[in-house]
Each structure stands twice: as C-alpha cells, then as structure tokens.
Amino acid sequence: MLNFTLRQLQVFEKVASHLSHSRAAEELYLSQPAVSMQIKQLEGHIGLPLFEQMGKKIFLTEAGRELFHYSRSIAQQLAEMEAVFDEMKGLGQGKLVLSVVNTANYFTPRLLAKFCQRHPNINVTLQVANRDAVLKQLADNSTDLAIMGQPPDGLDICAEAFLDNPLVVIAAPCHPLAKLKRIKFTRLAQETFLSREKGSGTRSAMERVFAQHQIQPHISMKMETNEAIKQAVQADMGLGILSLHSIELELETGRLVVLNVEHFPLLRHWFVAHRRNKRLSSAALAFKHFLLAEAKIWMHSKVVGNKQKPLSP
C-alpha cells in the first residue's frame, strides 16, 4: 500500500514540471535540500526511482512519467474541490487559470481588468504561450479556460466564438504597395514575408490562404513574437500578416499601414475553450459568460471614453 503524503506529491509535480529541483524550490518557497528530501521519501514509498540524472540535467523515469500523469489529475481534482467548498461557504472568492495565445494577449488584459473590477475577489493566473503550448495546457488539464483562434479537430474540447479576429497584410508606410488602392492576391507572390514560427495560429492561417490560391509565399525570416515582426516590417524588411488587434498602436501612430489586398482581411474568430468534461468553477463560468455576453460590445464601445479606434475594420 502506498503511503506518501499530498505534500510529497505536490513537490514531485513541481519538480517534474520544471525538471529542476531549484525551480520547484523557488515556486514552493522551500529550500532545495527540502525538495530533494521530499522526492527521496516519495521514491522510498513507491519503491522505484522517479528521476534519473544525465550530466547536469534530470529526466523522468518510466515510473516518474506514470506518477506525473496521476499527480496532475489529482492536483486538478483537489483544486476543483477547494473551489466547490469555497463556494459552499459563500466566501465570494475564486481562482481562474486562463491560457491565451500570444496574439490574444494584446486585448485580454483589458478584458480581464473589466472582469476583475466586477469580481475583485477572484484570483486570476494568466498564462501566455503559442498555440501548440496552449493546446497542450488544455490537453494536460492545467488550465481552466483558453483563448485561441480556431480550435483543432479531434481534441475533446468545447469552444465558443466571442470576438472577431481579422488578419491583415501590413507594410511599412514607404513600401511601394502602400500607395495602391487595390492589390491582387497574386501580387503577393512577388513579395518577401516575415512570419511567425511553426505552431502559431497566425502562421497556420497564412499558410492556408496561400495554399488555397496555389501560391508559395517567400518567407525570409521566422520570428517567435508579433513584436519582432512589427519591428522588422517597420524597417521595410518585408510584409507581414498579423491580427488587427495586435497593431492598433502602430496604425494610430502611422508606423505601419494595412494593405488593401483582395480576400483580406481574413475574418477569423477568437474562441474561449475548455475541456468538454471539465467541471468549471464559478470563477471560470463567470469569465466565460462575460466573454460571450459582453466582450464584443465592450471592445467596440470603449472608443467613447478614451477616443481609441475600434478594433474591427
């Protein structure tokens, strides 16, 4: 019979997540020797090694990978249980773990600020990553909700659209195409593009639209952030395709322009997603309802108070 403690399991999960005793110690506010002792005691209870060391790095053993799978599930169930008990006590508190793709982070903080004004006792953890990483967080059940572009087929998730996400072709104001009023899509075959990395939702959408028109785009450089693409486009190193949400400031200051290309903007949507069988806490349900009911209205009406331009074309 296994006789380990929940604390030992918690310590193991952190070490397994980071593959680092020191990072786990920092996150748990423990000393590194204390973390090592907890792992050693856990291995003694299980009777198998959970980690193996190669050089300066540690890796999960087969037993460690099995335990990691169960430990994440147990941690999630404990968190859900805690949330249920808090609601039963009427504490008016809650926790929300929200994962968003990089591009969505241009508007998510503003929505969170509005939501937190209404629900000041909800503690929010915001995780920002590319699409592949967010999908993994959903698959691992390590997040309550995710904000992303088109969810993939085959993953057992529930996803609902809450906001338009137009993708546009951007250029430096001095670019020759910036002066044209109507640009044929085939003209883009002659241009150099700066693109996001593989695994990015924006990159996938870009590849799909070019494939539909049987054009192979000339991608001179791949970058892992929208900011890097915007800076490179401003320097007239090529064209880019980005969400209109990510270039508001640059359009207002005249540092970038949107090209009038046929078939653009590509109208996509932002989705709020979660595991289909996941029991959402009151905090997660409240945020989901907020997005579905009010996000679009609020995002497009905020121009009245601060004179910003609307986010849609």
The shares of helix, strand and coil residues in the chain, as percent rounded to the nearest 5, are 50, 25, 30
Write the class of the CATH domain 93-163+269-306. Answer: alpha beta
Q: Quote the radius of gyration of the chain (alpha carbons, Å).
A: 23
For residues 165 and 85, which has the higher predicted lDDT (pLDDT)? 165
Which residue matches tokens 């087969």? 62
CATH 3.40.190.10 domain locations along the chain: 93-163+269-306, 166-267
Give the three-state DSSP class for 150: coil
- Out of 28-37, 79-88, 163-172, least confident range: 79-88
Give the three-state DSSP class for 276: coil
Which residue matches tokens 């169930």? 77
Q: Which 8-state DSSP code applies to residue 217?
A: -
- pLDDT tens for each residue of 203-241: 888 888 999 989 888 888 888 888 999 999 999 999 999
Core vs surface per residue 125-138: b (16+ CB within 10 A) or e? eeebbbbeebbebb
For range 99-122, the mean pLDDT: 89
* Tokens read off for 283: 């905090």
For range 133-149, the mean pLDDT: 89
Could you tell me which CATH number the domain at 166-267 has?
A: 3.40.190.10
Q: Is the dihedral of CA 236, 241, 246, 249 positive or negative?
A: positive
Residue 79 has pLDDT above 80, yes or no: no
Give the three-state DSSP class for 155: coil
Give Cα separations from 165 to 120, 232, 312 (angstroms). Answer: 28, 22, 8
CB 162 within 8 A of CB 292: yes
Give the confidence band of 298 by pLDDT, cuts at 50, 70, 90. Answer: low
Which residue matches tokens 């401003």? 234
Q: How far apart are the C-alpha atoms of 183 and 247, rounded to whole Å?
A: 21
Helix/strand/coil (H/E/C) assignment for every residue in 42-54:
HHHHHCCCCEEEE
Report the greatest alpha carbon distance in the chain.
75
Q: Does domain 6-75 have CATH number 1.10.10.10?
A: yes
